[in-house]
Amino acid sequence: MGWEFSVWATVLIPLLGSFTLPLFGLVSKPLRNAVAVLLGLAATFFALTLLPAAFSGEVHVFNLALGLGVNATLVVDGLSVFMAIAASLISTLIIVYSLGYIKDYHYQQEYFMMVVLFLGAMMGLVFSANLILMYVFWEITGICSWRLIGFFRDRPTVLKADKAFLMTFGGAVFMLLGFALVYAQSGTFNMLEMRGLPISGLAIALITMGIFAKSATLPFHTWLPDAGVAPTPVTALLHAAVLVKIGVYAFARIFNFTFAIPVDWQTILMTVGLLSAMVSAAAALWDTNIKRILAYSTVSQIGYIFMGLAAFNTIGVAGALLFILMHGLAKGGLFLAAGVIEHGTGTKDITRMGGLFKAMPITAVAFIMCIFSIVGIPPFGGFFSKFMVIQGIIKSGNIAIGSLAIFTAVLTLVYLLRLFNLVFLGEARDHSIHAHKEGTPTMVWVVASLAFLSLAAGILVKYPMDLVNIAVRDIMGNPAIHDIIGLVR
């Protein structure tokens, strides 16, 4: 009963609580802000209380009758608990950061409501054991991202928000068609009842289109760099905590956990992940907008996660899941640091910056720490996850793909060091830019915390790895992964 209460609380507290925020805002903005943070903390707390359920060695299923013979089915296992903790923790830090960033903007009522609703929909999605229930939460996140990307009401911004919505919604329609094909074959939408079911290539292609559109993977990636017109906390939410992570979670739950897919499709999916990683890394080498560079970096790193999942072996899948957490921490830090920089300089153009280390030393140090984790420099958390992903790719027999993945990691180092150099080192190239200090204490504290967590998660990698080990066991039906545990100790 305790775990059932916790899982429903994790989903319903932010989902329903989000609608109370505009009411609290009418009374007092500080009260509304405090409630928003408390809702995020509550989701994180109840997700953490599910850790014993994840480590119990069993998959726990809870049903709620909705009437007319329809049940809402939630599953608590290593994968859902891992994703819930990672997403809720990072989302809560972003909400705290927003308190300083959003305080001078209009539309704050809608902003906080949509951010917390976004979190609640993510919690609902990761615990869903039913394809239709997953699809409902999937579309709620699409609506939230549309409103948040279009936060500023000027026409160019609204058009880019519309583009993001149409691309992700269009992909979701194809995914729904894939679910319909699966239902026609199996007679159920319950993923627990379809474990090991072989499905057709057409169903795989349709479902994959929805997943790739949501996760901004080639060729559906163009909406994500354009989403940089949103406020920085929104872009951090999209990249680090919720939106693009939904796609990789859905891939793991649908293809790694539920269905059996042909070997040829595994190679195809891994190849798409590689191409997405390489093309976006090349684009990041040439762009001059700090948020677009980081967006291309997200597309590239998501490609690594897909390659690890598509390896369909324990080491690759474990590395991919671990990288979801490590990328979320580091990319959240990079985007929120970019927000501090943009606030201080009034521009996103890195060719006009330079010499900001003196004005923003804490942000600069946090920025380079997050870069080290994204690139995969030990002992930062990104090193262990990327190492395992590449090892999984090679173990699957795709040596050429593994070699090109290593080359892409080198490109990542090059464009991120170029970014750091142009922003923080040397002399200011445009003296009309005056950045004399860091951002607000709250903003800087959150950025520094994410950088610290990126390092701590690497040094103490055994602890997140223990949960990843459980998640992989639940996904693939394998016993404990002794080679991974030995690697990280």
Q: What is the DSSP secondary-structure string of 318-369?
A: HHHHHHHHHHHHHHHHHHHHHHHHHHHHS--BGGG---TTTT-HHHHHHHHH
Q: Is 155 exposed, middle or buried (0-12, 13-18, 19+ CB in 10 A)?
A: exposed
Residues of the chain with pLDDT under 70: 1, 67-70, 239-241, 432-436, 477-489
Average pLDDT along the chain:
88
Best CA proximity match to 253, nearest among 78, 388, 393, 65: 78
The pLDDT score that the predictor gives to residue 481 is 39
- Give all strands (DSSP E) within 195-283, no chain letters: 197-198, 259-260
The pLDDT score that the predictor gives to residue 486 is 39
R_g of the chain, CA atoms, integer Å:
21
The pLDDT score that the predictor gives to residue 105 is 79
CB count in 10 Å sphere of residue 365: 16
The pLDDT score that the predictor gives to residue 278 is 95
pTM: 0.91
The pLDDT score that the predictor gives to residue 225 is 86
Q: Is the Cβ–Cβ distance between 424 and 451 less than 8 Å?
A: no
The string of pLDDT tens digits covering residues 191-222 is 988 988 899 999 999 999 999 999 889 888 88
The pLDDT score that the predictor gives to residue 236 is 78
The pLDDT score that the predictor gives to residue 399 is 93
The pLDDT score that the predictor gives to residue 346 is 83
Tell me the domain boundaries of the chain.
264-489
Q: CA separation (Å) from 162 to 135, 143, 214, 216, 488?
A: 20, 10, 14, 15, 44
Q: Is the Cβ–Cβ distance between 258 and 250 less than 8 Å?
A: no
